Amino acid sequence: MLHFDCDYMEGAHPEILRRLAETNLEQTPGYGCDTYTEHARELIRRACEAPGAEVYFLVGGTQTNATVIDGLLRRHEGVLAAESGHINVHEAGAIEAAGHKVLTLPEYDGKVRAADVGHYIEEFYRDETWPHMVAPGMLYISHPTEFGTLYSRSELEELHAVCRRHSIPLYLDGARLSYALAAEGNTLTLPDIARLCDVFYIGGTKTGALFGEAVVITRPELLPRFFTLVKQHGALLAKGRLLGIQFETLFTDGLYLRIARRAIAAAMKLKEAMLAKGYRTHVDSPTNQQFFVLPNREIDRLSRYATFELWGPRGEQESIVRFVTSWATEERHVDELIGRL
Amino acid sequence: MLHFDCDYMEGAHPEILRRLAETNLEQTPGYGCDTYTEHARELIRRACEAPGAEVYFLVGGTQTNATVIDGLLRRHEGVLAAESGHINVHEAGAIEAAGHKVLTLPEYDGKVRAADVGHYIEEFYRDETWPHMVAPGMLYISHPTEFGTLYSRSELEELHAVCRRHSIPLYLDGARLSYALAAEGNTLTLPDIARLCDVFYIGGTKTGALFGEAVVITRPELLPRFFTLVKQHGALLAKGRLLGIQFETLFTDGLYLRIARRAIAAAMKLKEAMLAKGYRTHVDSPTNQQFFVLPNREIDRLSRYATFELWGPRGEQESIVRFVTSWATEERHVDELIGRL
Amino acid sequence: MLHFDCDYMEGAHPEILRRLAETNLEQTPGYGCDTYTEHARELIRRACEAPGAEVYFLVGGTQTNATVIDGLLRRHEGVLAAESGHINVHEAGAIEAAGHKVLTLPEYDGKVRAADVGHYIEEFYRDETWPHMVAPGMLYISHPTEFGTLYSRSELEELHAVCRRHSIPLYLDGARLSYALAAEGNTLTLPDIARLCDVFYIGGTKTGALFGEAVVITRPELLPRFFTLVKQHGALLAKGRLLGIQFETLFTDGLYLRIARRAIAAAMKLKEAMLAKGYRTHVDSPTNQQFFVLPNREIDRLSRYATFELWGPRGEQESIVRFVTSWATEERHVDELIGRL
Amino acid sequence: MLHFDCDYMEGAHPEILRRLAETNLEQTPGYGCDTYTEHARELIRRACEAPGAEVYFLVGGTQTNATVIDGLLRRHEGVLAAESGHINVHEAGAIEAAGHKVLTLPEYDGKVRAADVGHYIEEFYRDETWPHMVAPGMLYISHPTEFGTLYSRSELEELHAVCRRHSIPLYLDGARLSYALAAEGNTLTLPDIARLCDVFYIGGTKTGALFGEAVVITRPELLPRFFTLVKQHGALLAKGRLLGIQFETLFTDGLYLRIARRAIAAAMKLKEAMLAKGYRTHVDSPTNQQFFVLPNREIDRLSRYATFELWGPRGEQESIVRFVTSWATEERHVDELIGRL
């Protein structure tokens, strides 16, 4: 059976495992106060060209989103996000559990538009009952989005500008950031993102790490005492160096991007084959998540050979499906899948 | 430099690393729905002689305590705990962040007494203003305690009885449970604990795992939809099998206890040497945490060779210090430390 | 200047003031443990034909919604409500502040449809990722809605049925319940509502009281220790008898309905006059809130004589406005307003 | 039966009722945007000699404490308070429900000492594990305390100084502030309090109002968007003018202090009589709450004629009881009680 369900089905890149084994019996202080973690921070600052940034390592995406958003918002504020944003759908209410409303914006293939953000905020304050409503206190975006799509540099610049104009922080969820950076046609570099976002995270779980997300805070004054908040959210790893070592490895010799490119190549090969077969994409994604509209018959047939995700409800004749490649996807598996189409 | 600061300074037991490497490129579903995790659950149920128990694997202790306690309490309730309980001191307010008060009880070397629990609850409901106060909704204990001490079987039976009598759940924080089970004079087996507690967790982080805590729920009706709560608390690991594989390894061939015994032996050797030198213990602990009262001069001198923790404020002449051994402590290091006394 | 902004611009019905004055220097225990409050509870139980119901008196609508919903939901659950529901818009995030997500349903003139409720819940559990999402844990409706519209008896029976089928409680926000009960064509009596809802409240603030909402709990097992929760939410009035006396007065000699009828008559007179002038309603409301589409010119002109609310953004040529009558609206004021059209 | 249970057993001062009746049918905007409320704000600013202060009116004490503290603290912070502080005991966990820990200090007849505050904060940051603990983020005091005792001006100056030194706000709960201001030997005026506290509230419920507490914010930058927070906490009264009118009345012609003095006189008369009978006070309170140690026999006998509160558990021979007078206490009732001793 071939597996294209998601990008966290394997363990870690072998180089990461090697480094974990190599350092295994060394003794280091806990909670990220070790030299591996410090080095990883430095590598990330350099990759982002953000020497003043603070970098924290957390374990998973939901806890990262919950902790950062909780830290950025005041009690009377909510977070603006696309209707389809991960925090609005698949995080079991973690944002609300910390007391904050998710204020939804229309989504266009998973993306929000600066004009909609501006419109929301302006209409909000134009409504004279606004003091009775949850104030838009920050903007959350995901890049790539939940549909695998990407913001262009000018789009992110516009989002940055509208947030600055209204004095709210811009936070980017980069759970799959590697696949954005490695995508063909991508116009946003890590330094761009660091320049345009107040906080963002670089996902490790889905790109070669056993687990781990690196939170980059380019305006540290927005998140004072973040360490304590991480602890309060249960997101502080005792053996913090495990995160440091993993990100140190990913940000050494360009490993992070290199392995992401493999996933992209596999995804593009699959997309071309699907299009060649006459199927159409549901969304045109340049990253490792691919969405196709397939006849139900074809879905049922393919399911005998491969696992993938039914995206949304099954249609009458055809349905949307998602195939995901990862840093670990082998070319022969893609070829085998294509052969089954 | 010798390190006796805590029991999470190293990575994982080599056997665990070996298993992680061996299974590294296998593809499994996420979130603990894989066969390794299922097998680990089964091994733990068997070790606990609790075939009906539910078992969940979380990453760390604070998140485990916060999630379990949040699930067990109703909104108007708080959690009874020793004044010195970890949840009351070193978890950055994670319990309160989820809306619940920690109701403190006197501690005796870190332990609470059944009589105090009963007294608290009875006095609470005797006070006619009780509807204006936070109701005691569960009991939290740690075993070993934060002072390394242990409940005896009869003590735990009494705590169980008083909780049953007042219809509140009993929850045991077993962050260092291995070191209790392996301690000389210990009278509480895993099946005892499973029989007497409604929920408890078996700590992995401090005993051979990279990370991980196994929550055992012997009365699953108390924690409905626990999976969603784990997700909401940001405590659900994407690559859940990493937890399954680690606990599978720990609960195969008695590894969990075996490596704990090493730590105990090292701790006992250190204690004997200290006593032989004429120093006294602050608390008489049979587990891997040892507390001594040392002259400040001796503390300063030892600090040149070893790291350990100053426990509480420094006294005028002498102070309390904590030395911790772990599954990874090597005998020669203990010998070297003893030689420096 | 004439005022039609809302239905809480005046003090209390004179009879209520008279009773407050009459009893002013009596001494009673606090927090609703007095005989006036007990009597008010009994009168409400009788009016609802619900002898087993529990009745609590709170001060205002937002705190009532927040407290009831917080009590009804488990931590992993959210509340289903119309997109336009008061809890989703104008309560400053009070539901989220207590940790719960508002799960929105389409609204039809402010109402939700049983079919949509059923569809939401069925689709939710059909999606295999549901354990990662906020579970629909109760249904919130307002009656009259925020648009002044009413559920019919059969509609409420359907909502009741779909909630029962999926084992979630049905909660009705009756901030303006009097105006529903007094409306022409209304098919839902208080006993109907008590039979079909698990919890609801009878609004006092907008119908003759200085303040106060009576929460009726027909299934008390759903809200154990509600008193403590009320206190925790800061919603417990020290001089609780003030609430008891007000509701006792409202539920004596049919005052509650009698004064609501006056408001309805005034609203109907205004509606007829508007329609006669050729203006159209935005929503066809049989209650004390009336929504009209007026030319901006007419709005500006009327604003010189009367205050009323611009409902939503101002259009290019015409806009939606809301006029509200109340138990205190005087007929001559409506006549004067009509004269100005 | 005579009643000395508490100071909220009656309605309002007749002058307040008169003003409410007089203005009853006037139409005003809601939520405190009316001219009565604006006038009341101005009167309070003047009484406090704090022209730049912001003033908000809330309904009750618990909601006021919960809202202010929630607004002042960041997520990682807790509130310092006396062990006996109202927020720590009798508010059903309202502070924790909003996510914050109450950090307790020793109490001396209900008061905290500046030295203890300083010590707590210094020891906190001296402990190298402080980032894992709840940071002391503000100081809560009550004046009079729960034991009726008062801070002297120099004591409050010291508390102010220690808070400033450590950059945390000082908040004073003045539920019974009138009885402090009116007490013999009191050294703290309203302007003193306004000068020394960052936020405090002037209690109305217990001094002549039906309900209501006036929050005075002398450093408004500490509580931005407080209106929305009040709404979110369910603490915003729709007919806000009811609060404005009551405080306007209380702060006109010195009514607030005048009626408090009556209560003090009654309390002093009772104290003298008790002492003359040979009974002793439990705490020497100069305000309207009096605590005596009485033989149980005397308690039982008195209970036939009067209601009062058993303070804490009943002793074997004698117990502590609380008698409370209020603005409404009549001299003849005190005389009658004294006659029964």
Nearest to C92 among A98, A126, A133 (CB): A133
pLDDT band at A184 (very low <50, low <70, confident <90, very high): very high
Gap between the Cα atoms of C252 and D74, Å rounded: 48
CB D136 within 8 Å of CB D80: yes
Distance from CA of C238 to the nearest CA of B (A): 12
Nearest to B75 among C132, C135, C229 (CB): C229
- Residue A207 confidence (pLDDT): 97
Helices A114-126 and A153-165 cross at an angle (nearest 10°) of 20
Q: Is B134 on the interface with D (CB under 8 A)?
A: yes
Q: Which uninterrupted H or E stretch holds D103? A: strand D102-105
CB C79 within 8 Å of CB C287: no
Q: Is C222 on the interface with B (CB under 8 A)?
A: no
- Residue B136 confidence (pLDDT): 98
Gap between the Cα atoms of B47 and B177, Å rounded: 13
Q: List, in sequence order, every residue forming a beta bridge with A174; answer none if it has no partner.
A: A202
Average pLDDT over residues C175-197: 98
- Residue D314 confidence (pLDDT): 87
Average pLDDT over residues B16-41: 97
CB B188 within 8 Å of CB B33: no
CB C239 within 8 Å of CB D328: no
Chains that contact C by 3+ CB pairs under 8 Å? A, B, D
Is C100 close to A96, i.e. CB distance below 8 A? yes
- Residue B206 confidence (pLDDT): 98
Gap between the Cα atoms of D91 and D98, Å rounded: 12
Q: DSSP character for A46?
A: H
Gap between the Cα atoms of D131 and B287, Å rounded: 27
Q: List, in sequence order, every residue forming a beta bridge with C108; answer none if it has no partner.
A: C111
pLDDT of C133 over the 90 cut: yes
pLDDT band at B163 (very low <50, low <70, confident <90, very high): very high
The tens digit of pLDDT for each residue in C67-89 reads 999 999 999 999 999 999 999 99
- Residue B97 confidence (pLDDT): 97
Q: List, in sequence order, every residue forming a beta bridge with B320; answer none if it has no partner.
A: B293
Torsion of CA B63, B64, B68, B69, to 10 degrees: -60
Count chain A–chain C contacts defined by CB atoms under 8 A: 58
Q: Please tell me which residue of chain A has the smallest CA distance to D69.
A: A75
- Residue D235 confidence (pLDDT): 98
Mutation pick from C77, C87, C134, C322 vs chain A, by most beta carbons of A within 10 Å, is C134
List all residues of chain A from 48 to 87 with a beta carbon under 8 Å from chain C. Answer: 75-76, 78
Gap between the Cα atoms of C60 and B224, Å rounded: 33
- Residue D323 confidence (pLDDT): 98
List all residues of chain C from 14 to 53 with a beta carbon under 8 Å from chain D. Answer: 14, 17, 20-21, 23-30
- Residue B295 confidence (pLDDT): 96
Q: DSSP character for A327?
A: T
Q: What's the mean pLDDT when you consider all of chain B?
A: 97
Radius of gyration of chain C (CA): 20
Q: Is C167 on the interface with B (CB under 8 A)?
A: no
Q: Is B127 on the interface with C (CB under 8 A)?
A: no
Q: Please tell me which residue of chain D has the smallest CA distance to C60.
A: D237
Distance from CA of B143 to the nearest CA of C (A): 28
Distance from CA of B133 to the nearest CA of D (A): 4
**C321 three-state secondary structure:** strand
- Residue D221 confidence (pLDDT): 97
Gap between the Cα atoms of D143 and D200, Å rounded: 10
**Range with lowest mean pLDDT among B19-23, B123-127, B212-216, D251-255:** B123-127
The tens digit of pLDDT for each residue in C191-240 reads 999 999 999 999 999 999 999 999 999 999 999 999 999 999 999 999 99
- List Cα–Cα distances, B197 to A273, A313, B63, B164, B177, in angstroms: 57, 43, 19, 10, 14
Is B232 close to C70, i.e. CB distance below 8 A? no
What percentage of chain B reaches a pLDDT higher than 90? 98
The letter for the amino acid at A108 is Y
Nearest to B17 among A24, A62, A228 (CB): A24
Q: List, in sequence order, every residue forming a beta bridge with C294; answer none if it has no partner.
A: C319
Is D27 close to C9, i.e. CB distance below 8 A? yes
CB C3 within 8 Å of CB C9: yes
Distance from CA of B10 to the nearest CA of A (A): 5
Q: In chain D, which residues have pLDDT < 70? A: none
Q: What's the mean pLDDT when you consider all of chain C?
A: 97
The tens digit of pLDDT for each residue in A128-148 reads 899 999 999 999 999 999 999
- Residue D115 confidence (pLDDT): 98
- List Cα–Cα distances, D58 to D31, D202, D221, in angstroms: 10, 10, 19
Is C21 close to D24, i.e. CB distance below 8 A? no
Q: List, in sequence order, every residue forming a beta bridge with B306; answer none if it has no partner.
A: B2
Q: What are phi and psi of C297, to 5 degrees?
A: -60, -45
The tens digit of pLDDT for each residue in A281-338 reads 999 999 999 999 999 999 999 999 999 999 988 899 999 999 999 999 999 999 999 9
CB C231 within 8 Å of CB D94: yes
- List Cα–Cα distances, C138 to B80, C85, C169, in angstroms: 30, 14, 5
Residue B319: which residues within 8 A CB-CB, separation 6 or more? Answer: B293, B294, B296, B299, B310, B311, B312, B313
CB C207 within 8 Å of CB C178: yes
Q: Which uninterrupted H or E stretch holds C26? A: none
- Residue D104 confidence (pLDDT): 98
- Residue C314 confidence (pLDDT): 87
The letter for the amino acid at B69 is I
- Residue D312 confidence (pLDDT): 81
pLDDT of B150 over the 90 cut: yes
C313 or B249, which is more confident: B249
Q: What's the mean pLDDT when you consider all of chain A?
A: 97
Which structure tokens are listed for C106?
Answer: 């389409």
Residues of D with Cβ-Cβ distance to A134 under 8 angstroms: 228
Q: Is D100 on the interface with B (CB under 8 A)?
A: yes
pLDDT of C312 over the 90 cut: no
Nearest to D156 by CA among D166, D148, D164: D164
Gap between the Cα atoms of A85 and A89, Å rounded: 7
pLDDT of C313 over the 90 cut: no
Nearest to B58 by CA among B201, B225, B191: B201
Residues of D with Cβ-Cβ distance to C234 under 8 angstroms: 60, 62-64, 66-67, 94, 233-235
Nearest to C13 by CA among C336, C288, C265, C253: C253
D144 upstream amide cis, omega within 30 of 0? yes
Mutation pick from D134, D146, D322 vs chain B, by most beta carbons of B within 10 Å, is D134
Residues of B with Cβ-Cβ distance to D60 under 8 angstroms: none
Which structure tokens are listed for B217?
Answer: 């729920």
Q: Please tell me which residue of chain C has the smallest CA distance to D228.
A: C92
Count of alpha carbons within 13 angstroms of residue D255, beta-carbon side: 19
Q: Is A91 on the interface with C (CB under 8 A)?
A: yes
Q: Which residue has the tokens 């935005």?
A: C282
pLDDT of B314 over the 90 cut: no
A313 upstream amide cis, omega within 30 of 0? no
CB A116 within 8 Å of CB A136: no
Mutation pick from C67, C68, C76, C125 vs chain B, by most beta carbons of B within 10 Å, is C76
Average pLDDT over residues A49-59: 98
The tens digit of pLDDT for each residue in A153-179 reads 999 999 999 999 999 999 999 999 999
pLDDT band at A17 (very low <50, low <70, confident <90, very high): very high
List all residues of chain A from 257 to 316 with a beta carbon under 8 Å from chain B. Answer: none
- Residue D203 confidence (pLDDT): 98
